[in-house]
Structure formats: C-alpha cells, structure tokens
Structure 1
Amino acid sequence: MNGTRCIIRSCNRNTVEVEIAVGAHTGEIHLVPRIPLQPSDTTFQRRLLPLKGCFAMTINKAQRQTLHSIGLDLQQPVFCHGMLYVALSRSGKRDNVAYLDSPQSSITRNVVYKEML
C-alpha cells in the first residue's frame, strides 16, 4: 500500500523482502516483486521495484551537514546543551523544517547549562 513504512531485510533478483515497521501489520514479512513498466509510445519495457528509500540519523550525526529538508521528533525533550540549535540549523530555510511535538505540551525545552557558557 502507498505510504507503508518497511524495513528491507534482503534484496533478491526479482523481489525485496520487507518487514512492515508501523501500523496494524507491524512485524509481518512480505515480498515486494518487480513491476513491469512499459511506456505507451515504445516497445521498450523496464521492470522496477516500487520502493522509495529513506533514512534517519541522530542530531550528533547530522552535525556539519546541510540538508535540504529535515524532520525532527521532539516528543521527548532535547537532552544536551545546544542540540536543538544544531538540529534546527541543518536546513538553511525555516520552511524546510518539520517537527513532531509532544502531545502533552506545545513547548520543547532547549537545555542550556550556564556553567558551559
């Protein structure tokens, strides 16, 4: 189904074995087959895997990188001095930052230790 998040377990010649990561079917293992694709104006045919790759990284790993768009999971407070700043400064534009906030509050606390300043 479109939008299903999976973890790739193995890649074979004509299939990819995936484990569903979220939702009602979490933990189920499925095989995703290659799908034939043939444009209407040619006799040329390709067989494609209907997958779109993505990745995640920690705030520490994102240091010294510039990313086009970022998403932050702020459901738990940022736990170290300056980490919120580092996370927010990875993208050059404010519009390219999306975040998931805690359902309990709309404020994420940035921890700053005055001893370090």
Structure 2
Amino acid sequence: MLLRNNDQSSGLCNGTRLKVRKLRNHVIECEVLTGNNVGHIALIPRMNMVLTNETVLVRFQRRQLPIVVSFAMTIDKSQGQTLSHVVLYLAKPVFTHGQLYVALSRVKSKRSLKVLLTNHVGMFTNSTINVVYREVFKKIGF
C-alpha cells in the first residue's frame, strides 16, 4: 500500500494498493490494483523523508521507499476498496454504524466475509454492542 501522494494523475495516491512485480535497489516496479489505473505499471523510487521537529534543532533526513507491506487495513483506510476476502476483527464495539457498514460492505460476497467478535473480557461471542453516546442527543433536545 502506498503511503504518499506520488502522482495523482497516474493514480499513485495515499492508500493505493499495488502488487510488486520487481524489487530493485532504488526502485520498485508495481502494478496498480485499485482505482482508475488498474493494471498500470508504476515505478516507485526511493524518496527523501525529512523529520522536522521544532524541539530538536537538527533536521534528520533519510531515503526510503514510500510503501508499507499491508496484510491488514483499518476501516477508514478500506473505504472505497473492493476486496475478494474480508476478515473483520472487532476487539471492541464499533464506534458508529457507518464504520460497521463500511467494513461489512468491502467484500464482494457474503461467503467471503468472516467476522470475529470478542466481549469485554476477551472471550469470543456472536454479538456486539451498538455504541450510542446519549450525551449527543441531550445537546440537541431529544
């Protein structure tokens, strides 16, 4: 998964899923798996990453590839993705109904979806809590 917006016109944006075709010392040859440029071959070069911290007077710079191997992704990062298999691990109740909907709707078929739920003590269960913050409703007069 790409971590930076390299070339938006070519579909190389933060969160783009890529398949590595060749690894070289200074560049990775990848095939784009998502977006409008599916199948496009992209070359991802090493980039200068500069750490700027106001408390440290020295600027640190390193050259690295702007990718991360991704075997899992967050619900927010998965929005807009279509996946052939989804395993959803809910160690805690989902914050909002919208997040649960996004997570469940990423998969192509029901048979390719697995959901693992745990309760407050870490035991497996077959239900989860619908999180509702009642304070929100008090402020708007409900």
TM (norm. structure 1) is 0.51
Distance in 2 between the 1:74 and 1:47 partners? 36
Are 2:104 and 1:92 aligned? no
Say if 2:24 is the partner of 1:12: yes
Q: Structure 2 unaligned runs (5+)?
A: 1-12, 73-83, 92-102, 120-126, 129-142
Structure 1 unaligned spans of 5+: 96-117
For the 8 Å contact 2:85–2:108, the answer to whether it is kept is no
Q: Does 1:76 align with 2:109?
A: yes
Is 1:29 the counterpart of 2:41? The answer is: yes
Deviation at 1:39, TM superposition (A): 2.8
> What's the TM-score once normalised by structure 2's chain length?
0.43
Alignment partners' CA distance in 2, 1:20 and 1:54: 14
1:58 CA drift (Å): 6.0
Query: Which residue is 1:48 aligned to?
Result: 64
Mapped partners of 2:35, 2:51: distance in 1: 34
The DSSP-based 3-state class of the residue aligned with 1:78 is helix
User: Superposition RMSD on alpha carbons, in Å?
Assistant: 3.6
Offset, 1:49 = 0.9
May I ask how many residue pairs the two structures share in their alignment?
A: 83
For residue 75 of structure 1, what is the amino acid of its counterpart?
Answer: K
